[in-house]
């Protein structure tokens, strides 16, 4: 076990590797720069890679140790840098769910040791820091869809395995067939419930035939206004309120031909909205009744993924109660960097180095939301201080991918709505209190 004065760095959820398009690592330069920095550090340090370093589930065309050989062949600079950094500091690797195979085959230990990486084939480990300890684990064991009842069993396949081999890997194989190469990013969409809406959004803004999209945009942009006019028309029809028809026509008439065209489009929209409302009212009652029937029989599991943080808070509380020496519970898995205070201790999520998507509504109308991409290459740093244990976050600088990833229409419809994600700053876990820093936004 490392010396009590060791400073610990923790990262997780790199998901390096996979079929075809998934093999491209967008943050490789930044990862190499971070490892080079640790190679030159004078600190007594240890780097803990807290699960899902590699996307072994996403390799569907090879088995066993062939996946390790493929990783070394595809990323020689990374493995050579691991070897160089490992000569200066200790590098420890914990398996996650996507690279659970690392816990299943003893041969992996020797393979990684050749690159100065200590593979620990356990669910968790602890490290001393000052008079306290830090508990590290990936966190998938608290996710019912990615839990292994028999950890280390190479034949056990949780639900998440099938999703990633059938969906994520397939996306990597066919992503370059699209008008733009976006489907591979499905592995970065969390929680999984958002995938259908994300797919609809990317289809509309990236894959839909331009003529269809340009024809649909005016209708969808004016949908809200058309709905209001449709309601006003109904009120006018039943004599509750008089629709100012002359005022509307006069306003548009002053705009000349453009106003006439806009009024015609608006009139068509109002008619379509009226029909949709008439159809939607009875259909909604039918759908609600159908949902109640499904719920009574319990035929459909409504939550595919776990709550982002609640299960881990519960686990950490139990851990803190059982062992007062544990000052920090550090996990990953959910891809959301955060620091939460519980009972004077800290719960730290190391986040992900994958691209992250922030759902942003458009500025008007009924158009699909835009999933704005960003990178938060988070590194958690744990150091002993006189006050206790200091938890600090830093992020490797990475250019904003929005310009390259988003179409002009997506950028235009979300002007002023780009995310400004907060990053947890610094927390000191003392003997009796913790300075709290809120979790980062979604």
Residues forming a β-bridge with 379: 394
- What pLDDT is recorded for position 258? 67
Shortest CA distance to 371 belongs to which of 183, 160, 175? 183
Quick one: angle between helices 210-221 and 257-297, nearest 10? 90
Shortest CA distance to 24 belongs to which of 174, 167, 185, 160? 185
Give per-residue burial for 110-143: e unless 16+ CB within 10 Å, then b: ebbeebbbebbbebbeebbbbebbbbbbbbbbbb
Say yes or no to pLDDT of 220 above 70. Answer: yes
Phi, psi of 68 (to 5 degrees): -65, -45
Q: Report how far residue 256's alpha carbon sits from residue 260's, in angstroms, rounded to the nearest whole number.
A: 6
Q: Which of 1-10, 93-102, 341-350 has the lowest mean pLDDT?
A: 1-10
Q: Which of 95-99, 210-214, 292-296 has the lowest mean pLDDT?
A: 292-296
Phi, psi of 301 (to 5 degrees): -80, 115
Our CA angle for 357, 360, 361, nearest 5°, is 150
Our CA angle for 266, 271, 273, nearest 5°, is 90
For 203-207, what is the mean pLDDT?
A: 91
Q: How many of the other CB atoms lie within 10 Å of CB of 81?
A: 20
Residue 300: pLDDT band by 50, 70, 90 thresholds?
very low
- What pLDDT is recorded for position 439? 44
Answer for the pair 261, 252: CB distance below 8 angstroms, yes or no: no
Q: Report how far residue 414's alpha carbon sits from residue 418's, in angstroms, rounded to the nearest whole number.
A: 7
What mean pLDDT is reported for the chain?
84
Q: Which of 231-240, 256-265, 336-345 has the lowest mean pLDDT?
A: 231-240
Answer for the pair 250, 290: CB distance below 8 angstroms, yes or no: no
Residue 295: pLDDT band by 50, 70, 90 thresholds?
low
Q: What is the CA radius of gyration of the chain?
A: 26
- What pLDDT is recorded for position 437? 44
Q: What is the pTM of this model?
A: 0.81
Shortest CA distance to 110 belongs to which of 125, 98, 121? 121
Condensed to tens digits (0 to 9), the pLDDT of residues 71-91 reads 999 999 999 999 999 999 999
- What pLDDT is recorded for position 301? 45
- What pLDDT is recorded for position 252? 58
To the nearest whole percent, how much of the chain has pLDDT over 90? 48
Residue 304: pLDDT band by 50, 70, 90 thresholds?
very low
Condensed to tens digits (0 to 9), the pLDDT of residues 113-153 reads 999 999 999 999 999 998 899 999 999 999 988 999 999 99
- What pLDDT is recorded for position 16? 97
Domain 7-206+304-429 listed as CATH 3.60.21.10: yes
Distance between alpha carbon 405 and the CA centroid of its chain, in Å?
A: 16
Condensed to tens digits (0 to 9), the pLDDT of residues 377-393 reads 999 999 988 888 889 98
Answer for the pair 375, 417: CB distance below 8 angstroms, yes or no: no
Say yes or no to pLDDT of 421 above 60. Answer: no
Q: Residues of CATH 3.60.21.10 domain(s) within the chain?
A: 7-206+304-429
Give per-residue burial for 316-351: e unless 16+ CB within 10 Å, then b: beebbeeeeebbbbbbbbbbbbbbbbbeebbbbbbb
Distance between alpha carbon 422 and the CA centroid of its chain, in Å?
A: 15
For 24-28, what is the mean pLDDT?
A: 95
For 352-370, what is the mean pLDDT?
A: 87
Answer for the pair 91, 49: CB distance below 8 angstroms, yes or no: yes
Condensed to tens digits (0 to 9), the pLDDT of residues 311-341 reads 898 999 999 999 999 999 999 999 988 888 8
């Amino acid at each position: 076990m490392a010396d009590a004065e060791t400073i610990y760095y923790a990262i997780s959820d790199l998901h390096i590797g996979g079929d075809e398009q998934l093999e491209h690592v967008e943050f490789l330069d930044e990862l190499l720069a971070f490892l080079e920095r640790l190679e030159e550090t004078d600190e007594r340090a240890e780097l803990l890679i807290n699960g899902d370093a590699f996307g072994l589930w996403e390799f569907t065309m090879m088995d066993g140790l062939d996946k390790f050989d493929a990783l070394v062949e595809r990323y020689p600079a990374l493995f050579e840098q691991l070897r160089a950094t490992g000569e200066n500091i200790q590098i420890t690797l914990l398996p996650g769910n996507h690279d659970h195979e690392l816990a299943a085959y003893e041969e992996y230990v020797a393979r990684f040791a050749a690159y100065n990486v200590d593979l620990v084939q356990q669910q968790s480990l602890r490290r001393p820091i000052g008079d306290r300890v830090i508990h590290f684990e990936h966190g998938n064991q608290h996710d019912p869809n990615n839990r292994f009842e028999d950890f280390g069993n190479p034949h056990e396949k949780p639900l998440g395995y099938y999703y990633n081999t059938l969906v994520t890997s397939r996306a990597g194989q066919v992503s370059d067939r699209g008008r733009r190469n976006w489907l591979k990013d499905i592995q970065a969409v969390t929680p999984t419930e958002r995938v259908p809406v994300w797919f609809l959004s990317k289809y509309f803004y990236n894959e839909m035939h331009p003529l269809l999209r340009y024809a649909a945009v005016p209708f969808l942009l004016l949908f809200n206004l058309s709905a209001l006019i449709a309601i006003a028309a109904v009120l006018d029809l039943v004599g509750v309120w008089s629709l100012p028809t002359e005022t509307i026509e006069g306003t548009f008439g002053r705009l000349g031909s453009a106003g006439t065209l806009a009024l015609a489009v608006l009139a068509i929209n109002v008619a379509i909205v009226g029909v949709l409302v008439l159809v939607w009212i009875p259909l909604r009652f039918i759908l609600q009744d159908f949902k109640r029937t499904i719920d009574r029989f319990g035929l459909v599991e409504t939550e595919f993924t776990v709550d982002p943080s609640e299960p881990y808070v519960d686990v950490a509380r139990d851990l803190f109660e059982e062992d007062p020496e544990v000052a920090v519970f550090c996990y990953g898995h959910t891809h959301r960097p955060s620091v939460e205070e519980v009972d004077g201790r800290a719960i730290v999520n190391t986040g992900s180095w994958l691209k992250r998507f922030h759902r942003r509504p458009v500025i008007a109308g009924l158009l699909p939301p835009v999933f704005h991409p960003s990178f938060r290459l988070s590194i958690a740093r744990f150091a002993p201080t006189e006050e206790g244990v200091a938890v600090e976050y830093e992020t490797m600088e990475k250019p904003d991918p929005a310009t390259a990833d988003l179409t002009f229409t997506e950028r235009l419809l979300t002007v002023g709505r780009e995310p400004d994600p907060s990053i947890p700053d610094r927390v000191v876990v003392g003997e009796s209190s913790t300075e709290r820093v809120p979790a980062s936004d979604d």
